[in-house]
Amino acid sequence: MEINRRDFMKLIGGSLAGLAIGGAAGAVMKLPKSAEPILYSGPRIESWKLTACTACPGGCSLKVRLIDNLPIQAFGNPLSPINEGGICSMGLASVARLYHPDRLTGPMKNVNGKFVSISYDEAYKILKDELGKVIDNKKQDDVFIAVQTESKLRADMFKKFSEETGFSNLIIENFQASGAYPYNQVSGEAPDFIDFDKCDYLLNFGSQITEVSENPLYYTRKIIEHRSKGFKHTAVQPKLTPSISKSDDWVPLLPVFYADFALGIAYVLLKDEQYDKAFVEKYFTGFNDFKQYVLDNYFPDKVQELTGVPSDKILQIGRDFEKAAAPAAYFDETIFYNSNGTENALAVIALNALKGFGGFGKLKEEFFSKILENEKKKEEEITFANLKERLSGHKAIKALLISGSNFVYNSPDQAELKKQLSEIPLIVSFSSFVDETSSFAHLIIPDHDDFEKFDLLIDKSMGLPSATVLQPVVDHYYNTIDTSDVLISLMKDLKSGAKIPYDNYNDYIKQFANKIYSTHEGILMDQSKPTVIEKGLRKIGWQTESYSSFDDFWDGLLDAGGWWNPFADKTSYNPKIDFKTNFGKQNASMKKSLASLPNKKLRLNIFRKNLDYKGSMSLYPVLVEQFGLKWTVFYQLWAEINPDTASKYSLQDRSKVVLKTSRGKFPVFLVYNPSVIPGSIDVPFGLGHTNFGDNCGVNPLAYSDDLFDKSTGMPSFSETLVEIDSASSGSSAYTAQIITDEKKLSGTQNRSVYA
């Protein structure tokens, strides 16, 4: 067949066109490359493993779904008494952390500003040699160890390390320990839990109790359960957070005024003489001075003047508090996010003392204190305050070990802090990522991911001892090593003759579990909750199950995901309180300037969302996307302002505004929110990382004044004043109006969800 040129060109053209169309059609049908793992053809065998979540202090038990032995999803463990199958967004998203591209694959050394991979032996040698030198020179006081962990056992390991090596400057940031700290200060012991069986009134000072707290999912369930039985929950917070949806009343109050408010309530109790006189006589030293002081200085009108809360509200809450049989005025670590946090906490403790700490409870047997080696000792080293003092005083620090803490991000004085950190000769970080703090490290020995390590998370907040198992769902991918194992090796190498009866952290956990086993108490978490009959039987001595040996128990423990003792006896919390404090003298000028705002200034109130705890949300793209979903704001920092305040400064809804503090300017996207305290501007915390996860947004804490609670060193979140630098009218994209109806609160029959 003859093909002449024209036909040939037609053929070529036709086939090219065909290819183009096919290519285009292929382009249409193409799925993104990221979908390929789903399409892969392994045998796709599904398996489940139980572990625990470490995203927040709650320590919920997780049920991880693995396909071909790779974890892909996490759900709540339905049989765990802590969360009963529930899980929060942070836990759901945390599986992605295993596969994060920024995860360090092995020990890194900082060589001229860049991180270079080195072997573990090399890294360990450097660490051992440097620390050895310090010990030889007897300069152990110049070494700081900063740890943030929610695991008591891990904290215990660090305490042992500090004790053995003599590096006594140990800072352990632990949520539950922070909450217990002021109690320990005044009485030497802290309550273990809120006793929901007895408590009928919860006055919550600043805790986002159902979002991020000691045990958020448990508290949510309990509050819901007990509300129908006459339990009341009043929240005193600077912001209308989702926790307040589970409360009956909200008192908008800035944290700086918590002490004044608490003492105002105390005034009502004292004046009405409705306080627990028996308790006070027996346990409250210095009560009479306290009573006189409060009666002289905290009558409701004066408190109204100081804090802005109307005096009839104070009276009403005070009367509720005194009428309650077992009220609890509750606070947790969040109370320290203010420069007079300790004072606030002490005032709340005093208020509790007036009603005999009725709503709190303690375990009858100090179960875990029996078996934790260092539970009681060294509670006071939980503060960053002394680290900051050392750094700001430019007193030489020889070495700084950091584990689990990104304190550079969580601090206001970032520029100064960064400068001071760069002067420390040896910084060793155990972080899995190069975040704001570990970027200053000379040596990084990355820890296992939380899905790759062993631990036991012990908890008392449910009113009974429980230990949730954290176990590896996969073998560790990279050349990482459990930090506790490094510590154990260091202890053995640095201190000759150290009595360390375990080789690695696994052994330590096993020994601890053995101690639990040998008490022959409690049950594993793979059974449903025991009934009253079972509890009764247990009391008289009947056992419901037994194990032939410890190994049997251990296997059962790993299968079940945890252990708990629902038969533990509770008792009331009766501490001896010794109060010698001067309330009201602290922070007088700050209170004044926050109450009556100077010209054109607004209060910057930084708040935390439940998607973020300690600023690690940026690692998870799913959470970053949802961060501002409530206001339909994506990937930028927004600020919420009361419409009345906004109209005073002629700021428009959904407009771009630049805020100015003493540290600089930063842009925000302004939205109207009628629940914001007038005169405040609320900005969320969690965005604005510089080299960790998603880099969108701004870190508002970096623009705050360097104020912190003097005894714990926690930064203040709501005491900076800002002014509006410039405002634009209307935003560029997604202009909108939210229609608010101010009259809907008292029921009408209008059923359409249109508020």
Give least dist CB 610 to another protein, A.
Answer: 6
Distance CA 482, CA 251 (A): 45
The span from the CA of 552 to the CA of 540, in Å, is 25
Site for another protein in 695-724 (CB under 8 A): 696
**Residues sharing a CB contact under 8 Å with residue 708, sequence separation 6 or more, in sequence order:** 339, 384, 385, 388, 412, 714, 715, 716
CB-based contact 731:655 (threshold 8 Å): yes
Can you tell me the distance from the alpha carbon of 400 to that of 713, in angstroms, rounded to the nearest whole number?
A: 17
Which member of 5, 114, 138, 751 binds another protein (CB under 8 A)?
751
Q: Looking only at residues 679 through 698 of this chain, which bind another protein when binding is defined by CB under 8 A?
A: 696
Angle between helices 341-354 and 175-187 (to 10 degrees): 60
Contact 256, 584 (CB under 8 A): no
Number of residues forming the site for another protein (CB under 8 A):
97
Q: Which stretch binds another protein (CB under 8 A): 148-156, 245-253, 399-407, 598-606?
A: 245-253
Among 683, 685, 720, 688, CA closest to 704: 720
Q: Does 632 bind another protein (CB under 8 A)?
A: yes
Q: How many CB atoms lie within 10 A of CB 541?
A: 6
CB of 245 to another protein, least distance (A): 6
The residue (of 23 and 536) whose beta carbon lies closer to another protein is 23
- DSSP per residue, 347-362: HHHHHHHHTTTTTEEE
Choose, by CB under 8 A, the member of 152, 154, 160, 221 that binds another protein. 221
Which of 7, 17, 99, 277 contacts another protein by CB under 8 A?
A: 99
Instruction: Please give the structure tokens belonging to residue 732.
Output: 């560029």
Q: Which of 153, 155, 217, 568 binds another protein (CB under 8 A)?
A: 217
Q: Among 2, 121, 545, 742, indicate the residue that binds another protein (CB under 8 A).
A: 742
Restricting to residues 385-444, which ones interact with another protein according to CB under 8 A? none
Q: What are the tokens at 638?
A: 């927004």
Nearest to 431 by CA among 406, 412, 453, 455: 406
Nearest-5° angle of CA 41, CA 42, CA 43? 120
Does residue 1 belong to the site contacting another protein (CB under 8 A)? no
370, burial (CB in 10 Å: exposed 0-12, middle 13-18, buried 19+): exposed
In this structure, which amino acid lies at residue 352?
N
- Range 246-285, binding another protein (CB under 8 A): 246, 250-252
Considering the rule CB under 8 A, would residue 674 count as an interface residue with another protein? yes
Binding-site member from 168, 297, 626, 652 for another protein (CB under 8 A): 626
Which residues are registered as beta bridge partners of 666? 659
DSSP, collapsed to helix, strand or coil, labels residue 564 as strand
- Pair 441, 475: CB distance under 8 Å: no
Which part of the chain contacts another protein (CB under 8 A), choosing from 3-11, 432-440, 453-461, 632-640? 632-640
The residue among 4 and 752 lying less far from another protein, judged by its C-beta, is: 752
Residue 629 sits in the site that holds another protein (CB under 8 A): yes
Q: Out of 92, 177, 391, 424, which residue is the one contacting another protein (CB under 8 A)?
A: 92
Residues 52-91 that bind another protein (CB under 8 A): 67, 70-73, 75-76, 83-89
Binding mask 27-46 for another protein (x = CB under 8 A): xxxxxxxxxxxx-----x--
Q: Does 24 bind another protein (CB under 8 A)?
A: yes
Nearest approach in angstroms of CB 668 to another protein is: 15
Q: Which is closer to another protein, CB of 28 or CB of 278?
A: 28
Interactions with another protein, residue window 112-141 (CB under 8 A): none
Q: Which of 477, 567, 631, 649 binds another protein (CB under 8 A)?
A: 631
Q: Contacting another protein (CB under 8 A), which of 240, 346, 402, 488?
A: 240
For residue 667, state whether it binds another protein (rule: CB under 8 A).
Answer: no
Q: Checking DSSP bridges between strand 201-205 and strand 232-237, what pairing results, if any?
A: parallel
448 binds another protein (CB under 8 A): no
Is residue 556 within the footprint of another protein (CB under 8 A)? no
Told to check if 750 binds another protein by CB under 8 A, we report yes
Q: Measuring CA to CA, how many Å separate 432 from each of 90, 106, 439, 506, 618?
A: 18, 9, 11, 20, 14
Residues 196/229, Cβ–Cβ less than 8 Å: no
Which of 93-101, 374-382, 536-544, 713-721 is the region at the interface with another protein (rule: CB under 8 A)? 93-101
Residues pairing with 524 in the sheet: 563
Of the pair 325, 755, the CB lying nearest another protein is at 755
- Residue 87 and residue 76: Cα distance in Å, rounded? 5
SS3 state of residue 688: coil
Residue 16 engages another protein in binding (rule: CB under 8 A): no
Residue from 16, 17, 116, 224 binding another protein (CB under 8 A): 224
Residues present in the chain in total: 755
Q: How far is the CB of 78 from another protein (least distance, A)?
A: 8
Nearer to another protein, 3 or 733 (CB): 733
